[in-house]
Structure 1
Amino acid sequence: MKIEQLHTLFLRFPVICTDTRTITENCLFFALKGDNFDGNSYAYEALEKGASHAIVDDKNLENTETVILVDNVLETLQQLAKYHRQHCNAKIIGLTGSNGKTTTKELITEVLSQKYNTIATKGNFNNHIGVPLTLLSIKPDTEVAIVEMGANHLREIDFLCQMAMPDYGYITNFGKAHLEGFGSEEGVIKAKTELYDYLLANKKFVFFNADDPIQVSKLTTTTNKLGFSNQHHNYLFIKFLGADPYVSLKFKEVQIKSQLVGSYNFTNCSAAVLMGDYFNVPITAIKSALENYTPRNNRSQILEKNNFKIILDAYNANPSSMKAALENFHELKADRKIAILGDMFELGTSAEKEHQEIADLARKMNFEEVILIGENFYKTKTEFPKYASFNALAKKAEKIATAEATILIKGSRGMALERLVDLF
């Protein structure tokens, strides 16, 4: 079946499912393969549960009216998404960066939704499967689509751009993330700026942080851009008012107090303000959107439990975000501060060095206590209490904190440090 024909079918049945546990009536089931599963094995089950058609690539399956045999299911999904994107009217904002992508995406969505019919990537489903699924969620009445793009190797962002063809783009920052795949910080910068490369080559529009010298240096050849700054009035000036603990800022004499912890969230809020202003969202609506947004999914959440105030930032971590979290925690006003840090993943050969540097940084902060969890932190040379795993710490839970304290919990997703909350 040609992509044009498949797209006609998709318009009749405009819901995509890739998991038989979430089948909905009259959806299209795409039989994707994974490391430990083959969606082809579930094609008939999907049809029995209500899928209108199953798209498969197992040559042993018969090509019928409801079973559509293609050469490669994943590539077909991506081609369908690109074709759909070419035939939709929505403006697409591409978003990438080392830290803060998902929070920034949610903030931008909240702001633009004040005026436009807006959709965005769900969760952090931002890879070669998530991006096509986001594009295929664009409806005829969708006006703006915010497409988050993640990568851990070079050329991935470029590949996603060729599919999504964004009209606008923004990079949150460049940090020490996925060093295992990128090799170095220079590799990170090269990979992330593939978004800007695409936009400039196709004469599209760039949003940027004018206080980030790397971003500024990459955009010297275009005037098709708009930047925000906390330092220079020749850009869209957004003043940082503080973060103790919540980020507050001022724009056009209007003060905005968010519910986000950490000064590092200032640029995330500023990006949303920048785009809201560009798309003519009233400043009162921008203020309302940012002030009503509440963090979730273990991202910069503040929890109160017994005598503890817990800053839960356990969604993900890399050396850059860990450093920012510690510095912000250091500036926070509190009598007793305890930092509980979990391993940072995907650092490759840099893992030992990066974990030691974070342990050394934490030592300089003079917190009441620092607790390290994970195989990499366990190898560091430090006097802090160290545990090779969460379970090792859980066995000695009564030693974590016994008096009133403000506690930072920060670690990579694989550490699942949100489990600590139940130990207090």
Structure 2
Amino acid sequence: MYIIYLSIFFFLQTLSLRVGHEPSGHAEEPSTSHVERSTADFPFLQDATTRQYLQSSQSRTMLIMRGLPGSGKSTLVDEILKKYPFSVVCSSDAYFMKDGEYRFNKSELSANHQMCQAKADDACRRGERIIIIDNTNIRRWEFKAYVDLARKFGYTYILVSPRTSWRNNAAELAKRNRHQVDLQTIQKKLRSYEEYVPFYYGWFLNPTASDSLMELSKKCMLECVRKNAQLRLNMFGDTNEYPDPQILEYFSMDKGNSGKILHCTAKFLGSPKNPAVRRKEYHESPEVQSSIGKAFAIELTGMVISSEVVGMRVKLLPEALKLYDKPEEKENDKAHLQKKYVDEQVSIMDDTEIPEFHDLPASGRSAHLTIATANGVPPKRTNEVLLDACDIEHALDMAGKTLPGVRIDQGSIRQLKDQFWTVTFDKSIIVTTLFGGY
């Protein structure tokens, strides 16, 4: 019943709407009645599911604008406010407005940026659904403070740049910007513009959904540890029964996790100095760029639990699966064809002959939410454990075998190896997420 209730709760949360308004005070380019199609071609403006999700009471989204003066930022912000009039706009330019007139004073610039950050901080503390940072943010350090705020208060942040045809045309920008920024200054700003490639892309949950799933995971993990002497042996070195607080402390789940944002990684990109395979190609692909800031539903089907990790298994729906890129799965596919892993599975196969693999396991099988790890265990270990579990499940399926399950409140648990167990939920959970970078 708890799973059914949780599923209904997550479904209803996307339908809950609340309206309100806070004026932006921004001023950059003259607002026009005509908006280029490409300018407004963002999921949060055009996609009905995304708009419904961002309007819900559970939304915690920060839109960080990026673009030179005259590029169309203010026109884009106006379009966003039409869809989400309750948004809070934080703009350093607003503090240069005197009696309805924009009066730039370089000596006030630092103080105005501090006031802008203070307003954003206050909006985060109040839990405003959508916060818009309407500054140029040309270099990464300029918007780092807002990224830090988003992380601190559990907001998913989306970097938004105008898609106007003239956004990189210095002469056109100099002509269009309202603040009479000259051509030479515009050219200098264009040269200093820093491209941003995130460390990874993924699907991010909101704080309410994350908190609920953390609580569900705790209940499920505790019951698994109570019912499995081998798991207690792996964790504590003996098979004695342990109180819940000690088990939670083992996974650092005893201090509360309110505000922690769960996510499912789509592609790890790394850094410029240590890039992942296809880093730039993935980042620049039309599929990825058109999906940033878009709402996706993901299906949670169960868990994987070991003495090292607690993870929740994710089944990606077809649209999301197009964005999923995990080289580790491809490496495992090669191992399947070469049957290098088979010896490890024999102990659970009861001498059943394992057939040669002609069909590879499904793509996207290692998608997951890392819930918790033991002290000193990196989060990526969840991916490795889950891939091992998928290998064993596929081998069992190919051999026509099933393992008996032990009932727990949320479903059933099966021991695949001495080191880890899987949980299958009686009813999967559908949650809404936002796709973006971190």
- Range into which the TM-score falls when normalised by the shorter chain: under 0.3
Q: Which structure has the greater CA radius of gyration?
A: 2
TM-score by length of 1: 0.25
